[in-house]
Each structure stands twice: as structure tokens, then as C-alpha cells.
Amino acid sequence: MLTAALLSAVAVAAQSTYHEQLALKQSLDGKVAAVFSFQQASPSSSLYHPLAAIANEFGVAHIDFGFSQGKAGACVGLGLASECLPPGLLSLATRLIRLSSLNSSDPDLRWTGLTNALAGTFCASMNFITPKVSAEPKESLRVNGVDPDSNWLRYATLPREITCTENLTPWAKLLPCSTKAGIATLFNAYSLYDADYHSMRVKLQRTCPTPSTCDIKIVQELIVVLDPVRKGHERNINWSLKFLFDREISGLCPLDLDGTDIVLELPASSSGFTFTGDVSPLKVREGLYKISLELGKKLGFGVVHSNSAPNRLSKPTPPVQIHRHLTGYGRERGGINIRINNNQNKPQKVTLLEVIPWYLHLYLHTLKTTTAPIGDLEAAPFTLNITQRYQPSIPRLRPSIIEISTVLPSNSVTTFHYEFDRAFIKYTEHPPDANRGFDIGPASFDASPRR
Amino acid sequence: MRKIKYANEYQLMFNLLNADPQSLLMDWNIDDAIKDYFQDFVAIMKKLFDIKVASQVQYYTTLAIQPEKVGSSHVLYPHHLPHFINSAEWEFDGSSVSTSPPINFVLYVPTQSQSPLYIASANTKDAPLVETNAFSIPQWGGIVVLNPDQHSPKIQTNSQTNVRIYKLDSKEELEGPMNVFLEQMRGLLGVKTVELGAAAEKLLPGFSFTYAGSTAGITKWELDRLTRYTTVKNVGDAISTLNSLITLIESMENMVVLDHIRDEIMLSLNAIHKVQQILSDPLAGGVSEEDGGHVNQHDVALAASIAAITAAERAFFDPTMVSLLYFPDEHKLAVYLPLFLPVLVPLFSTIVQEIKKEIQKRKGGKVKSE
């Protein structure tokens, strides 16, 4: 390992880089979304990073997981629908490299080792992600630039997990400046965990140009949707950094050599606003403002709207709307209904991924896919042509997976419906607080055209 | 005791601690420095320990203690030093995927307000300052406090952010600290200087002795001494570990000892026998021809002693060997007694009464019949 690190040090003169930025966006109903993004790229060297060590140990090409809490619906009005995650712990698209040179090439052993190592690093119960709850989707969750044939894909969710300060602290410790400088100084647990929606995400990409040298790119993202109308006594949509986070940004993180920008996006149709604070953001274009952090200088600013009443009536119609709910009653059987509205004037190619725990027995013959035009509620729904891939569950061994690929017609409402029986399970297999019920993970809806 | 406990593998971590990156952002060419100063040392020590080297940089690492101001500089006295490491804020955990013990070397750059920072050699007011500005923590690692030249021409200013960056070069600024680290490393691993001593001076009067140095950081004699010391110590530790294991197994009758534990113990015992065999041979220390190459018998004994201690520890620290997993007799008594005693006591007393009645009846019957 020493010689490998030294070889690379001689050959590659690249430096590790760090960049952070903050994007603030407000919608007409007053909600403010703050997206903190931290990017670290380090070429192979002797430099130690906990996530890089874990990725190297288990032979991982790509990890993407997130912790979130709150209603993802809060993100829809802010244009962040594809960034926000459903509540709980989500481990998306983790790819383990098919390497026979590793100690153990069994992907399940490496997957278990990886989740245990991450559980320790993030003080989260990720060790409950075992091959018993994990799925290997074949059609969904493709990442650009990663060849699906050269690695194994794993997807798992823990919908019952709650995100709290215990997870924020080790997550923030992975940042070079921690919470001492830069945009991370806004991390006030009282404000972040009082938000309508918050999520922390970690994306790691590892590319190995030669077998012994690997470059690592780590992106950490924290999204929080705060509501100035709910906070404070005024009940209006005026806000400032001090009002939302109870603190101001204390200067630039010196490691960001490109400079840190704070991008502010205000609704274009608002009647007018003024900025408060020492420094006003500079206008980039209509509705978009930018302000840069300076070394050693505190930054705080605010927005005062001329019409400060929240406008909760106008909601933009997103191009695709999805509603998923349970049907039926009682503890014996039920069904899942997914209704997708395609509001666009063109057809949409989609892939739907459902991972259902083993204790719900699916009946594939009950799967009905019907579609009807939006405007014409009287029309008889007709069956849609779909390609489906189904993996039945094995009790106590693996979940059931349904992957449906289809083309949604323009201006249509499509409904997928299937039914299940609840299995009779041992009393030790019930989750804690069993009377609350069971949590089923979210379905994954992939609208990026591929193939 | 300064020497760290023996382990087959160590994680060596070089840390650059930047307390004030806002005034001066420190960076270092550690990869070249490791190659220049530590590569040979690590290669030579390969037969004893496998040392994995890594580096990390930490920022905003402020001290938990307050140094005393003496004139225009700040001084840390020996009574401050045990609290130097701010364990709450600084990250010295080592790798999250490895169980090898960590050795940390820290190059500390103090804040602007605490610069320049020096270390005094005694607790008295006018004590002279330590020349190397460094101290070591037994069984943990070592620390060098660096006061960079604030007006050095090597400082570059980033045009976009006005951040001043100072990159420490391997052959210049890092030479002193790396040599100190090497010296501290020798202390941590138990390397002792070997000299002939006063007896030799008496035997050969008039002769002066100069000892050859080594660019790798350890001479052949020192390495040889360490090899023999480690061999004997490992065998002693392996034997005591096996003894503790036996005591543990004998203390619990119900304990299940799995087959692989027996295999480890046999491995350890065989290795100890091998070491004893080699070392008790009067011709040991010579070079034997094995597989066409020259193999020093002491090295073979060392490898066997390492195998012995590793196997003994694997057996002793196996997760199935925890005595808490098995119930001692007192626990069983404590669980079953409250359940059965209230049932058994009236039962026994009734039986005793019945027997007494029977005896009485028999006695009475006998008297009657007589």
C-alpha cells in the first residue's frame, strides 16, 4: 500500500479540491428551501478520508444514500421534486465492483460489511440493511458513466428510521471546515430539525484508472425547507438568515479556493422586494441573485417583500404527478394503488420500481395497469402496454421486486394496482411499537429516458 | 512505559493540524516526506511490523489549554502537555475499517493569537525551551509544534479569495519535524541504541569507538536487538495469554469451546515449540540455506513468535469465548430457586409429616399388638 501510494504521488501531481455552495430558493407560498452542497475530489494519495477508506475496503464504485424526514411534498413547489427523498433512510444505487481480486467477491458479504461500516461512521442504524431487505433492480437507477455489467447494484430502504442531530454531527464532521467556517456555520440543529423537510445525502464516486490508484469524488448535500410564515409572530413571508437559522454565516472556508457563492432565487411573479443586511446580493438576471463569501467576514442578509402575505393558492402544475396509497382495510389483505398524472403534451417513458418486504405476499395476477385521458373522465380506461420484471419474495430471505417499464400517453391518468396478503409472522419479527404498523418503502419512479 | 503494545500491524497517521487556516492555510508535501524519511524505515521493519502509512489534515483545531505569555511568545509548560490533545474536537480515531492500533504523529500549527508557541523543558519560570519544540505521548504518538515564518516568500495568496497558502516542502520545512517523528517512532516501537558500554572501554583502553549510523533510521544492531527482544516477549505474552485462556475455560464448566479455537491454540503451541527449538540450538543466529536463499534463524524464530502471539490472541479474544454468554451455577440457582422453592417447601414438610405419622402409627400399632 505504501509503494502504491508513493507511485501515485510521483506520477500524479493533482491536488485534492474542495468546493461548497449554498442555493436559497423561495416560493410564492413563503417556503424557503436551502440546498447546501459540498464537493470534495481527491486523487489517489496517502491522504486519508473515512469514506474513501470504506469504499476501497469493500470495492465500491458508487454509493448514494440519504437520510430524510418530513413531507417531500414541500419540495414540489420549489422545483426540487427530484432532489427530495421520502422519509427514512434510503440507500440508493450503491454499486459494488465485480472484482475477483478482492478478499471476498461475494457481493452480499461486501454489502453487509459496507452497511455496517457506514452505520458506524454516521451513527445511524444502517446495519439493518441486510441482503434480506435489499433489492437488485435491473432496469432502474442507472447512473451515467457507470457500466451496469461491471458491477452489482444494491438498493434498500429503511423507512422507519428517524433523522436527528446524532446523524448531523458525524455528517458535518466529514467536511474539512466542519461547522467552524463557510456555509456549514448555519447548521443549527434547532432550526434544521424544525423544518418542513430536511435531508442529508452522501454521494461517492470512485474511479480507478489503475488497479492500485483510485480517485474519489464525494458530494454531500443537505436540503432543508423552512417556513418563515410558521416561524415567528408576523406570519408573513419576509425572512433573513438570522431569522431562519438563528445565526449568520461566519466567513469563507479557506479551503474553497474557487470562492463560495450563495445563490438566491426569488419567485419571478412576486410584486417586489428589498434586501436587508450589510451587503446586498448582486443581480444576475431576473429573479436570480448572487453573493460571495469573504474570508473572516460575517454574512447575514434578509428579504422583505412588498406584498408579504403568503400566497398558498397558486401552485404550479408539475409535469408529472404521482399518488401512491394503500387500499383495502383490515390486517389480512390489502392493495397498493399508484396513480400517475402525465400533464405534458407528449408521451413519457417511465420505469417504476417497487420493493415490497417479504411479509406482504404479492399476487401478480391482480396487477392491473389502466390509463385514461385526463380531461375525459367518462371515457373507459384501456390497458396499457407494459414490460415488467418480477422477482417473487422468499420469506425471511429477500423482498419482492416489481419493475414496470412503460410509456405514459400524453395528458393521461395511469393507474397501477396490485393486491397482497399479509403474512402471519412471528412475534419477534414485528417492529418496535408494533401497533403503529409496518412501514413499506417508497416506490421509485424513473422518468429519464434511457434505451 | 513508552513502548506501544506489540501488534503485527500498525496504522501510522501523519496529521497536520491547522488551528487558524483563516490567517495562513498550511499544506504539506507529505507524500514526498514519507518517501524521503520513512519509506526505508518501514521497509526494514517489515519483518517485525506491517506499518500502513496515511496522512490527514485537520482545520480549526484549537487548543483546549491556554499557554502562558512570556514576552512576545507563548510557552507551554510540562504540566500543560497532558491536556494538549483536544480529544473532543480532534479526529484521531484511525481507519473505520481496520482494527490495527493507530500511531499518530501531529504537526501542530498554532493560531495567530497563540504564535509563536514554544514548549518549556521544566515547570520553572525560566526553564529553557525544548530545542525541537516537540514532545511524545507514550503509546500514542508524538507532537511537533511548528511556528511557520509568517513573512516567508513561499506564501502564495489566492487571487480570488485572498487566502494565504503556505505549502511545506519535504526537504526544507519538513526536514526537522520528520526527523523528530522518526526519533519518536523509534521510542514507540522500542528501539534502543546499542553501545558496547563501559566494559569495552576497560578491555580495550586507548581505543575510541564510533558507531555507524543508518540513513534508514535504525542500525543493524538495533534491529537485531529488537528482533530478539520481540521474539522473547511475544513468546512470554503468548504463554500468559494461553494460561489465561485455560483459567477461563476451567472456570466455566458449561462453556462451549469451538473447534477453531482448538486449532488456534495448537497453532500457537507449535509456534512456541518452534521458537524454543531454534533459540535453544547453540548454533542459532547463524545463517541457514533455505530454498536457496540466506535465512537468518533469528528471523525464523521471530516469525514463529509472531504467529504464536497472534494465534493465542485470536483464540482468547474470540467472540464465543465471553464468559457472560454462559450461565454460572449461581445464576441458575437464582432463577430456579424462587420458582420451585415455594412449591417444594410445603411438599417436603408434608412428606416429613406423613412419614412421622406413619412411624407413629407403626409404633402405636406395635404397642397395641404387644
Q: Across the interface, do B22 and A251 touch by the CB < 8 Å criterion?
A: yes
Q: Chain B residue with minimal CA distance to A258?
A: B160
A197 to chain B nearest CA, in Å? 29
Question: For position A91, what pLDDT does the model report?
Answer: 67
Flag whether residue A377 sits within 8 Å of chain B, measured between CB atoms: no
Q: How far apart are CA B94 and CA B106, in angstroms?
A: 13
DSSP secondary structure letter of residue B6: P
Place of cell 529553557: B128
Residue A101 one-letter amino acid? S
Asked whether the beta carbons of residue B97 and residue A181 sit closer than 8 angstroms, the reply is: no
Q: What is the mean pLDDT of residues A375-393?
A: 81
- In this predicted structure, the answer to whether residue B181 has a pLDDT above a threshold of 90 is yes
What is the pLDDT at residue B368?
A: 67
Answer yes or no: do A53 and B97 touch at CB < 8 A. yes
Q: For residue A44, how many C-alpha atoms fall within 13 Å in the half-sphere facing its CB? A: 24
Average pLDDT over residues A275-303: 87
What's the pLDDT band for B216 if we cut at 50, 70, 90? Answer: confident
CA distance B286 to chain A (A): 31
Q: How far apart are CA A300 and CA A102, in angstroms?
A: 50
pLDDT at residue A1, rounded to an integer = 38
Q: How confident is the model at residue B370 (pLDDT cuts 50, 70, 90)?
A: low
Range of lowest pLDDT (A72-86, A398-412, B100-114): A72-86
Per-chain mean pLDDT for chain A? 84
Percentage of residues in chain B having pLDDT higher than 90 = 48
Side chain identity, residue A363: Y
Cα separation, B13 vs A48, in Å, equals 9
pLDDT of residue A14: 59
Rounded to an integer, what distance in angstroms lies between the CA atom of residue B282 and that of residue B304?
18
pLDDT digits (tens, 9 = 90+) for B296-349: 888 889 999 999 999 999 999 888 877 666 777 788 889 899 999 999 999 999
Task: Please name the helix (run of DSSP H) or strand (run of DSSP E) that holds residue A184, with its range, or none.
Answer: none
Spell out which residues of chain B touch residue A9, defining contact as CB-CB under 8 Å.
Answer: 31-32, 35
| The pLDDT of residue B110 is above 60 | yes
| Per-residue pLDDT at A71 exceeds 90 | no
Instruction: Check pLDDT > 80 for residue A105.
Output: no
pLDDT score, position B198: 74
At residue A104 the predicted structure's pLDDT band, cuts being 50, 70 and 90, is low
A-chain CB neighbours of B35 within 8 Å are 6, 9
Is the CB of residue B176 less than 8 Å from the CB of residue B207? no
Condensed to tens digits (0 to 9), the pLDDT of residues A233-256 reads: 888 889 999 999 999 999 899 999
Q: Model pTM?
A: 0.85
- Residue A119 Cα to chain centre, angstroms: 18
- What is the mean predicted confidence (pLDDT) over A257-275? 84
CB within 8 Å: A254 and B39? no
Q: Is the pLDDT of residue B171 over 90?
A: no
Which ipTM value was assigned to this complex? 0.82
